[in-house]
Amino acid sequence: MFKINDNYLKLPGSYLFSTVAKKVKAYKEANPDREVISLGIGDVTQPLAPAVIDALHKSVDEMAHAETFRGYAPDLGYEFLRNTIADKDFKALGCDISADEIFVSDGAKSDSGNIGDIFSIDNKIAVCDPVYPVYVDTNAMSGRTGEYNPDTQKWSDVIYMPCTAATNFAPEIPKETPDIIYLCFPNNPTGSTITKPQLQEWVDYANKVGAVIIYDAAYEAFIEEADVPHSIYECTGARTCAIELRSFSKKAGFTGVRLGYTVIPKDLKCGDVSLHSLWARRHGTKFNGAPYIVQRAGEAVYSEAGAKQTMEQIAYYKKNAKTMMEALAGYGYSVSGGVNSPYVWLKTPDNMTSWDFFDLLLEKANVVGTPGSGFGPSGEGYFRLTAFGSYENTLKALDRIKAL
C-alpha cells in the first residue's frame, strides 16, 4: 500500500490567497451589483513593455523556421541571458558574480520552494515574521518545521524573527542559532527594507555561525533609497554564505510569463561540497529550462528601451503606493512600507484582527486587501494593500476607505 507524504496533513488551512479568493467569490455571488476593487493579491496589472513584446514576437518567429528553431533550453539558462544578468544586475553594482553562478528558472516561487531540496532535513530555519508564506510552507512539506500549534500559529522547529513596529519591521539576530536564514527585502508583506550596514551584520553573523542566507530580492526593482542594497552581494563576505533569488514578475510584469533566477556563488560550501554543484544537479534533473522565447523576453528587459519602459511601469505602481501612503495617513491610519516597495502595510484600526478588518473592508468598502496574520503571527493586527491596481481604482478604493 502506498503512503503519502503526511507532512502535508500538518499544514494549517489552505494557502492564504485561496482563502481570500473564496471569501471574495462568495461576496460577489451574494452581491452581484457591487463593484469590488482588489488591492489584495500581489499581481501586476500593466501590460508587458513594448520592447518585451517585440522580443517575444521575434523569438516566436524564430521558432517557425528549422534554422532558428530551438528545442530544450540549456538546464541552467541561455548564455545570452545569464551574461546580461551578470553584467546588468551584479557587475554594474560592483558585485562579484559571474554568469555561471546564475541559474535561470521559471520564477522565485519555485526556486524559494525548491531550494530546500539541497539541504538536510535537520537544518533549523529562521524566518522573518510576517513574511511570504512559501518559505515556511515548503519547509513544512519537507518535514523540517516540526509540529504546528494552531493557538500560537507557529511551528515548533521554526525560529520566528518578529518584524513589528517595535523593530522598525526589521528582524533582529535570533537568540537561538539557525542553520538557514530566509531574508526577504524589500519585504513582502511589510514593504520594509534594511540598510546595507544592517544587511552586512546578517552576512557577518551567517559567516560566523556557519549559516546560509536565502535572500529573496523579488522586489529589488522598487528600491529608490540610496542606502538600501539591491543585492546581498554588495556586502563583503556574502559569496561564502548567501543565495539570492530574483524574479522578473514584479520587475517587468512577468507574473504570467514566468521567469526568475537564483544565484549560488561557487565559494558557498558546506565542508568541501559546493552548493552550486548540488543546485546544478538538482536543477538539471528536475527542471528542463525556461522557454527560449521567455528568456529572449527577459533579455529585452535589459535593453535600453526595455529598461526605460519597465522603469516607467514601476514608477506607475510607485505613484499608486505614494498616493495610498499619503491618503491613508491623512485618514488617520498608521502606515509603513510603500516607499521601496509596492506594498502598504497598515495597522488595523481599533485593534481589530486582520481578518475582521478584511471583512469590514470587503463588505463596507468593497475593497479587497490581504490580512496581515496570513503572513505570520506577528502580522496579526496589520493589513496589506498593494499598489498593483490601476491609478483610477486606487483612487476609488481610497475614497471608499475614507468613507468607512
Residues that bind ligand PLP (CB under 6 A): 42, 107-109, 112, 132, 184, 188, 216, 218, 247, 249, 255, 260
Burial class (CB in 10 A: 0-12, 13-18, 19+), 183: buried
3 state SS of 1: coil
Number of CB atoms found within 10 A of residue 133's CB: 17
For the CB of residue 56, give the shortest distance to ligand PLP in the complex, in Å.
18
Q: How far is CA 376 from the centre of its chain?
A: 15
Tell me the backbone φ, ψ of residue 8, rounded to 5 degrees.
-60, -30
Give the residue carrying C-alpha cell 486587501: 369
Q: Which residue is nearest to ligand PLP (CB)?
A: 107
For residues 188 and 373, which CB has a smaller minimum distance to ligand PLP in the complex? 188
SS3 336: strand
Among residues 64, 46, 81, 89, the alpha carbon closest in space to that of 390 is found at 46
Three-class SS state of 384: strand
Residue 43 CB, shortest distance to ligand PLP, in Å, is 8
Task: State which amino acid sits at residue 125.
Answer: I
Question: Which is closer to ligand PLP, CB of 135 or CB of 358?
Answer: 135
Query: In which element (H, E) is residue 347 found?
Result: strand 343-347
Choice between 191 and 381, CB closer to ligand PLP? 191
Amino acid symbol at 47: P
Strand 370-371, strand 335-337: pairing:
unpaired
CB of 250 to ligand PLP, least distance (A): 7
Helices (H), 156-247: 196-209
User: What whole-number distance in Å separates Cα of residue 240 and Cα of residue 320?
Assistant: 38
Instruction: List the one residue out of 78, 77, 79, 98 whose CA is nearest residue 87.
Output: 98
- 247 or 348: whose CB is closer to ligand PLP? 247
Which residue's CB is nearer to ligand PLP, number 260 or number 374? Answer: 260
CB of 389 to ligand PLP, least distance (A): 15
Amino acid present at 361: L
Shortest distance, position 120 Cβ to ligand PLP, whole Å: 24
Residue 222: CB minimum distance to ligand PLP, A: 11
Nearer to ligand PLP, 138 or 188 (CB): 188
CB of 339 to ligand PLP, least distance (A): 17
* Backbone phi, psi, residue 123, to 5°: -70, 145
Nearer to ligand PLP, 7 or 255 (CB): 255
Tell the smallest beta-carbon distance from residue 252 to ligand PLP (Å): 11
Min CB(108)–ligand PLP separation in Å? 4
Nearer to ligand PLP, 90 or 343 (CB): 343
Length of the chain as a residue count: 404
- Give the residue among 116, 114, 110, 105 at the shortest CA–CA distance from 76: 105
Nearer to ligand PLP, 222 or 233 (CB): 222
Contact 230, 220 (CB under 8 A): yes
Tell me the C-alpha distance between 80 and 105, whole Å: 14
Q: What are phi and psi of 274, to 5 degrees?
A: -90, 130
Nearer to ligand PLP, 365 or 387 (CB): 387
Q: How far apart are CA 393 and CA 404, in angstroms?
A: 17
Distance of closest approach, residue 249 Cβ to ligand PLP, in angstroms: 3
Query: CA 71, CA 59: separation in Å to the nearest integer?
Result: 12
Smallest distance, Å, CB 274 to ligand PLP? 25
Q: Between residues 107 and 379, which has the closer beta carbon with respect to ligand PLP?
A: 107
